[in-house]
Amino acid sequence: MRPARAGTDGGEALLVTSGWPIAAADDGWGAQVVPAERVEFRSDGLTLVGDLRAQPGERRPGLVFTGPFTGTRDQVTGTYAAALAEAGYATLAFDHRSFGESEGLPRRDEDPQGKLRDLSAAVSFLRRHRQVDPDAIGAVGICLGGGYALKFAAFDPRVKAFAGIAGAYNTPYGMRAGMGPEGYQAALSSFTSVLEHQDAGGEPDYVPAVAVEGEAAMPGEEPYSYYGTSRGASATWHNSVTHRSVRELITVDNMIGADFLAPKPGLIVHGVEDAYCSPAGAREAHERMGGPKQIVWLDCTLHVDLYDNERYVAQAVQATAGFLGEHLGAP
């Protein structure tokens, strides 16, 4: 069911159709490709690797990015970081600990608290950079990163604005409501042997990240259509993730960030249909944010189309650049 069309005042929903006008290059963004500089910074003693993009000239607002489950910086976060750098922001997309080129063991292991500390370290790096205004930092999250960016922005006073795109705003309450109390406990119990084996010093158990059929952390044709094909091709992405990572997805509470974000501004951009990151979750996050806030509905019906479909990515970028320009200052 599609959200009703509404005005934008008071944080109300705005339905954006696939025919929505997209800014041209001469409108101020998309006019040039901003080169990426490979950078390194430390988080909990681990070396993290990122790509910094910033146009030359005066200091400008800085954005830190966090993205989809298992993703690396040359995939979705890199796409948005490049586009928003063209819009004038200084952007930092990086590989979280244990993923991509960044250090961390076990490899490809979802670590919610570690990801929040990585974001903190990324902001510290950005604020020290000569081309970044240290008092104008925003957090942008896509897919699972939407929830992490929301929670991080809510509790770090250095972050002045949040934007979530096709976000997964995970909460145990929502997981339990979907599975039922007994089903939720059964799901938790299914990880007992995996956790005990690893706690005893055993080698981590891995599952495929994506698969069209059979067991996978993200099963089904749609995730595979991005990660399992040339669309998501990356030299540093591997089709595996620790089995215990799936448990983290159903126990982490990132939705709580919505309750604590105000008075910081928050933007949510979401497809009207999304089989993997529910529009209901996006709507709940928006409702729980105190404001100033805005939610933008795109006439997009596939989650992964907000990863790389030029039409929808351009719409999401334009909405994000406009909102951040208002609340962080125009670059």
Q: What is the pLDDT along the chain (331 residues), one digit of tens a residue?
A: 343 333 344 465 566 654 333 333 333 444 468 999 999 999 999 999 999 999 999 999 999 999 999 999 999 999 999 999 999 999 999 999 999 999 999 999 999 999 999 999 999 999 999 999 999 999 999 999 999 999 999 999 999 999 999 999 999 999 999 999 999 999 999 999 999 999 999 999 999 999 999 999 999 999 999 999 999 999 999 999 999 999 999 999 999 999 999 999 999 999 999 999 999 999 999 999 998 999 999 999 999 999 999 999 999 999 999 999 999 987 8
What pLDDT does residue 210 have?
98
Domain 9-179+252-328: assigned CATH number? 3.40.50.1820
Integer Cα distance of 237 and 109 in angstroms: 13
- Please write the tens of the pLDDT for every residue from 165-212: 999 999 999 999 999 999 999 999 999 999 999 999 999 999 999 999
Residue 175 three-state SS: helix
Note the pLDDT of residue 21: 39
Give helix 243-251 / helix 181-189 axis angle, nearest 10°. 150
HSE value, Cβ hemisphere, 13 Å, CA-based, for 232 = 26
> Residue 225 and residue 223: Cα distance in Å, rounded?
5
**Per-domain residue ranges for the chain?**
9-179+252-328
Rounded to two decimals, what is the model's pTM? 0.92
Q: Return the SS3 of 16.
A: strand
Residue of 279, 232, 289, 204 whose CA lies nearest to 255 = 289
Place of tokens 């309450």: 173
Residue type, 73: R
Alpha carbons 121 and 44: distance in angstroms, whole number: 9
In Å, how far are 18, 73, 167 from 275, measured between CA atoms? Answer: 19, 24, 12
